[in-house]
Amino acid sequence: MNNAIKATISFIKEQYKTENFIPLHVPHFGGNEKKYLLETIDSTFVSSVGAYVDQFEVMMQNITNTQRAVAVVNGTAAIQVALRLIGVKAGDEVLTQALTFVATANAIAYQNATPVFLDVDLDTMGLSPNSVAVFLEEFGDLREDGCYNKKTGKKISACLPMHTFGFPVHLDELIEVCDKWKIPVLEDAAESLGSEYKGKSTGSFGKLGAFSFNGNKIVTCGGGGAIVTNDLKLGEKGKYLTTTAKIPHPYEYVHDEMGYNFRMPNLNAALACAQLEQLDNFLENKRTLAKQYESFFASNGVKFRTETPNTKANYWLMCVELENKSDRDLFLKVTNDNNVMTRPIWQLMYRLPMYSNCQRDKQLNAEFLEERIVNIPSSVR
């Protein structure tokens, strides 16, 4: 094991051509970032309206091939508002995975709803259609107005799968199960910009999709998010809710619902547009690195995670699967001690105090992956 780790450290240092600290993921500013930012400052439109916000929304519609994209302040807010748009109300339940970044569960809690944690698939590391089906067979109660949980009596008003590290979940199967039980799907596509399932963009399969442009994501605008949908009415409602629910009027303030100030500032949108112009290059660059990792790890007996059939991963954060927890711990220690940043996958959500009492299934796959998956440096070179 130790030799494989040493070889890994040398290999990663060669890839990034440095002996200095190698982070997990840093932004790459190789395009029009400075130009667009300066233009924005010169125009004085730095805040919540401006040409780049509109341009960003059109670019996201084109990239995801959806009818409407709405720019918002961050990915968490995108999920929160999308949950409201999809019909999640206080006291409802949302089916999701425990193996995710905390924002997925937090967004549900902000809607005063409760997550129900179901297991992931071993191949995708995302919500398993089978665990959803098994759970609903036992607890689902299909009524006129939707699906209820037999155990709690609460309405299950959405299903929120997350495409872990940019590897798409089994979308067709998941949507089939959810349709059968009248549960609308919202994709947490925060990590999967540029990933495809059967040739179509992740985020475009559910009723709504949510993306993040945080500093550590494949494309960043400092901080930002987007909601996408093919339902124009929902899209317009999303724009309206995230811009304080204001009724258009030449000078009066008229608000007829509790909205949010979740706008993306034009400064951030300028950065986002410059970054999105480079998305195809980033995807290609990462794919090349993934191929190099794949053949390196294959010859060292370490399992490097690759995309599943019928999908194209964006390889946002690349990862290896170690044999067991003690191998994982050794790998983490030695790499980090040698200037190569690596990080374990997240702790499962029900280990966190605020989500420890949520209903969940057996989580065999999630717990297996929790002990073995480690992210390795994945930045664009």
Ligand X SMILES: *Cc1c(COP(=O)(O)O)cnc(C)c1O
- Please report, as ranges, the residues that interact with ligand X according to CB under 6 A: 74-76, 100-101, 103-104, 162, 188, 190-191, 212, 214, 225
Backbone angles phi, psi at 211, to 5 degrees: -120, 160
CB of 75 to ligand X, least distance (A): 2
Name which of 168 and 225 has its Cβ closer to ligand X: 225
Q: Which residues make Cβ contacts (< 8 Å) with residue 85, sequence separation at least 6?
A: 208, 227, 229, 234, 237, 238, 241
CB of 263 to ligand X, least distance (A): 14
Backbone angles phi, psi at 3, to 5 degrees: -65, -40
DSSP annotation string for 304-346: E--PPTTEE---SSEEEE-SSHHHHHHHHHHHHHTTB--EEPP
CB of 307 to ligand X, least distance (A): 18
Name which of 104 and 342 has its Cβ closer to ligand X: 104
CB of 44 to ligand X, least distance (A): 26
- Which residue shows structure tokens 């690596």? 342
Chain position whose Cβ is nearest to ligand X = 75
Name which of 22 and 349 has its Cβ closer to ligand X: 349
Name which of 140 and 238 has its Cβ closer to ligand X: 238
The one-letter code for the residue type at 71 is A
Name which of 114 and 192 has its Cβ closer to ligand X: 192
The one-letter code for the residue type at 156 is I
Q: Which residues make Cβ contacts (< 8 Å) with residue 55, sequence separation at least 6?
A: 269, 273
93-97: strand order across its sheet: 114-118, 93-97, 155-160, 146-149, 140-143
- Which residue shows structure tokens 């398993």? 128
DSSP annotation string for 213-240: --TTSSS-SSS-EEEEES-HHHHHHHHH
CB of 67 to ligand X, least distance (A): 23
151 is catalytic: no
Backbone angles phi, psi at 2, to 5 degrees: -60, -35
Q: Which of 155, 207, 217, 312 is catalytic?
A: 217
Report the catalytic residues: 217
